[in-house]
């Protein structure tokens, strides 16, 4: 048996592996678990995209290595997508880098820009893969608490002058996983000012960019003036087009950051399967009704959940975007204690907030990733719990 490297041993523990195990144990015993704990979209990829993959998969050109750094046509499609959706101009070659899903880019970026010991600002609660990127770069993490009273936006005044001076990179993510918060243009404008003043590279994770409720369209970071001077946005097709299994996304924005990502990737990959790239271009440029329909679907599920829980006396706030609801756990439970309680007594799996950072304590994350009917069933199971009996 070989020992693992110190680097590997230093990586953060996968908190949610234990949740998967717990749920698995119940399912094996035949329990009918409503699993709202994971972040895996439940709908299939729209047919026109799958059909494109089939045709492109038959083309022998795609059986060879695809071009280094991805197909020009996909980069052009990504640029056209940003122009159409957000009015943002991007140079396909210099301002876009193709990624193996958003996760790969997010994990790679710290290694592209930081030296060991450099500081990264990371939201807490936040998507745990940011921590992996920090560790792989042997960088130092300073967390930015996301508090409910501040609409789950970081309060930059909480950062000390020394922290700002040392920080080289900042992760942001709106619509937010796990809180469901969205950011407005004013917040991004403020962020750009702060980043410019302190020479911080902003990495905005726009994984849930297509999912905004109550008629509010989430703002892209790149829509703010000067965004390209100070950072990039990571876009993924996983959620917008239900393509999580396809592993395709892109980074867009600052040329020097894009060049760094491309350079690192030159040493790791050639590029994605050509047929996947052609289908991804089809997703970005083809019919977009599927995106609006998906948004409506999540919004209806959200309404069923939030209205249902409010009716039974659980004080919860509605997410404004993403496909997660971030629910305050009733007293006197901890987030892990309450998740265990729901699993044991109601056979409902949710993600404990503390798995997203210490400021996630006191909340659970509920994915809007099952049918309205199952959502209703979940609400009715919760209603019959001892703690909600009046
Ligand atoms: N960022 C956030 C906040 C996410 O929740 C996810 C996926 O769950 C991702 C990025 C990564 O998505 P992918 O790697 O599938 O593009």
User: What pLDDT, on a 0 to 100 scale, did the predictor assign at position 161?
Assistant: 96
Other residues' Cβ atoms within 10 Å of the Cβ of residue 180: 27
Ligand 1 binding pocket includes 188 (Cβ within 6 Å) = no
The predicted structure's pLDDT at residue 110 = 97
Comparing 13 with 241, the larger pLDDT belongs to 241
Q: DSSP label at 129?
A: H
* CATH code of the region 6-45+289-388: 3.90.1150.10
- Does ligand 1 lie within 6 Å of residue 322's CB atom? no
Measure the CA–CA gap between 250 and 235, rounded to whole angstroms. 5
Q: How far is the CA of 102 from the centre of ligand 1 (A)?
A: 6
Cα→Cα distances 244→40, 47, 209, 369, Å: 7, 15, 15, 13
- CB within 8 Å of 245: residues ≥ 6 apart: none
Distance, CA 179 to ligand 1 centroid (Å)?
14
Tell whether the model's pLDDT for residue 181 goes beyond 70: yes
Q: Is the pLDDT of residue 67 over 70?
A: yes
Nearest to 234 by CA among 124, 110, 64, 73: 110
Question: Is there an atom of ligand 1 within 6 Å of 236 CB?
Answer: yes
Q: Report, as an integer, the average pLDDT of 258-271.
A: 96
* For residue 18, pLDDT beyond 90: no
Which residue, by CA, sits nearest to atom 4 of ligand 1? 207
State the pLDDT at residue 43.
96
Q: Give the start-end residues of each E strand in the chain.
A: 34-35, 96-99, 119-124, 140-145, 167-173, 201-205, 231-236, 249-253, 324-328, 348-349, 351-352, 363-367
Token readout for 32 is 């009918």
By C-alpha distance, which of 356, 365, 322, 362 is closest to 123? 356
Confidence of residue 94 (pLDDT cuts 50, 70, 90): very high
- pLDDT score of 266 more than 80: yes
Average pLDDT over residues 153-160: 98
For residue 389, pLDDT beyond 90: no
Tell me if 144 sits within 8 A of 192, measured CB to CB. Answer: no
Instruction: Report the separation in Å between the CA atom of 274 and the middle of ligand 1, taken as the mean of its atom positions.
Output: 22
Q: What is the pLDDT of residue 16?
A: 83
- Does the beta carbon of 123 sit less than 6 angstroms from any atom of ligand 1? no
Give residue 365's pLDDT.
Answer: 98
Distance 244 CA to ligand 1 centre (A): 8
Mean pLDDT of the chain: 96
Task: Render pLDDT for 320-360 as a digit per residue (tens, 0 to 9).
Answer: 999 999 999 998 999 999 999 999 999 999 999 999 999 99
Q: Which of 239, 321, 324 to mutate to test the pocket of ligand 1 (most atoms within 8 A of CB)?
A: 239
Q: Does residue 39's CB lie within 6 angstroms of at least one atom of ligand 1?
A: yes
Q: What is the DSSP letter of 277?
A: H
A 10 A CB-CB count for 266 gives: 12
| ipTM confidence score | 0.99
Could you tell which of 129, 133, 152, 321 is best to mutate to test the pocket of ligand 1, judged by most ligand atoms within 8 Å of the CB?
129
| Whole-number pLDDT of residue 192 | 98
pLDDT of 212 strictly over 80: yes
Contact indicator for 171, 146 with CB cutoff of 8 Å: no
Confidence class for position 262, pLDDT limits 50, 70, 90: very high
pTM: 0.97
For residue 244 and ligand 1, the question of a CB distance below 6 A is answered with yes
How far is the centre of ligand 1, averaged over its atoms, from the C-alpha of 255 (Å)?
23
Could you give the percent of the chain with pLDDT greater than 90? 95
* Class of CATH domain 47-285: alpha beta
Taking only the tens place, the pLDDT of each residue in 146-155 is 999 999 999 9
CA atoms of 347 and 91, how far apart (whole Å): 50
Q: What is the pLDDT of residue 325?
A: 98
**Domain locations in the chain as residue ranges:** 6-45+289-388, 47-285
Residue range 87-116: average pLDDT?
97
pLDDT of the residue at 390: 64
Is the alpha carbon torsion for 16, 19, 24, 30 positive or negative? Answer: negative
Task: Give the separation between CA 114 and CA 69, rounded to whole angstroms.
Answer: 22
Contacts (Cβ under 8 Å, ≥6 apart) of 268: none
Contact 314, 350 (CB under 8 A): no
Q: Does position 220 have pLDDT exceeding 70, yes or no?
A: yes
pLDDT tens-digit map of 354-387: 999 999 999 999 999 999 999 999 999 999 998 8
List C-alpha distances in Å: 208 to 235, 236, 243, 296, 321: 8, 8, 13, 14, 7
Residues 6+ apart with CB under 8 A from 22: 340, 343, 349
| Ligand 1 proximity of 101 Cβ (cutoff 6 Å) | yes
User: Span 257-274, mean pLDDT?
Assistant: 96
Strands 119-124 and 167-173, bridge-based pairing: parallel
B/e letters for 115-143, b = 16+ CB within 10 Å, e = fewer, are: eeebbbbbbbbbbbbbbbbbbbbbbebbb
């Amino acid at each position: 048996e070989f020992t693992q490297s110190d680097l590997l041993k230093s990586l953060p523990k996968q908190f949610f592996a234990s949740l998967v195990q717990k749920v698995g144990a119940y399912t094996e015993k035949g329990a009918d678990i409503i699993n709202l704990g994971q972040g895996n979209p439940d709908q299939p990829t729209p047919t026109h995209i799958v059909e494109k993959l089939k045709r492109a998969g038959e083309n022998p050109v795609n059986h060879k290595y695809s071009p280094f750094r991805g197909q020009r046509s996909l980069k052009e499609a990504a640029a056209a997508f940003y122009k159409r959706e957000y009015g943002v101009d991007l140079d396909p070659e210099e301002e876009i880098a193709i990624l193996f899903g958003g996760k790969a880019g997010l994990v790679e970026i710290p290694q592209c820009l930081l030296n060991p010991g450099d500081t990264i600002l990371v939201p807490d609660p936040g998507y745990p893969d940011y921590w992996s990127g920090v560790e792989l770069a042997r960088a130092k993490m300073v967390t930015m608490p996301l508090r409910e009273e501040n609409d789950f936006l970081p309060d930059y005044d909480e950062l000390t002058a020394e922290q700002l001076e040392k920080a080289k990179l900042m992760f942001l993510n709106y619509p937010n996983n796990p809180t469901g918060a969205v950011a407005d243009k004013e917040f991004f404008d403020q962020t750009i000012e702060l980043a410019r003043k302190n020479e911080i590279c902003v990495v905005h994770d726009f994984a849930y960019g297509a999912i905004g409720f109550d008629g509010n369209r989430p703002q892209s970071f790149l829509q703010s003036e000067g965004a390209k001077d100070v950072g990039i946005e990571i876009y993924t097709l996983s959620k917008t087009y239900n393509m999580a299994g396809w592993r395709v996304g892109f980074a867009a924005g600052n040329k020097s950051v894009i060049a760094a990502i491309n350079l690192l990737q030159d040493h790791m990959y050639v590029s994605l399967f050509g047929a996947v790239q052609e289908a991804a271009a089809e997703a970005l440029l083809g019919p977009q009704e599927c995106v609006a329909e998906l948004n409506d679907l999540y919004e209806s599920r959200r309404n069923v959940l939030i209205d249902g829980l409010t009716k039974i006396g659980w004080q919860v706030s509605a997410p404004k975007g993403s496909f997660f609801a971030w629910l305050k756990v009733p007293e006197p439970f901890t987030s892990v204690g309450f998740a265990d309680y729901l699993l044991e007594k109601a056979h409902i799996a949710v993600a404990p907030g503390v798995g997203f950072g210490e400021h996630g304590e006191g909340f659970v994350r509920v994915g809007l990733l099952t049918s309205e009917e199952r959502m209703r069933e979940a609400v009715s199971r919760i209603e019959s719990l001892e703690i909600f009996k009046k």
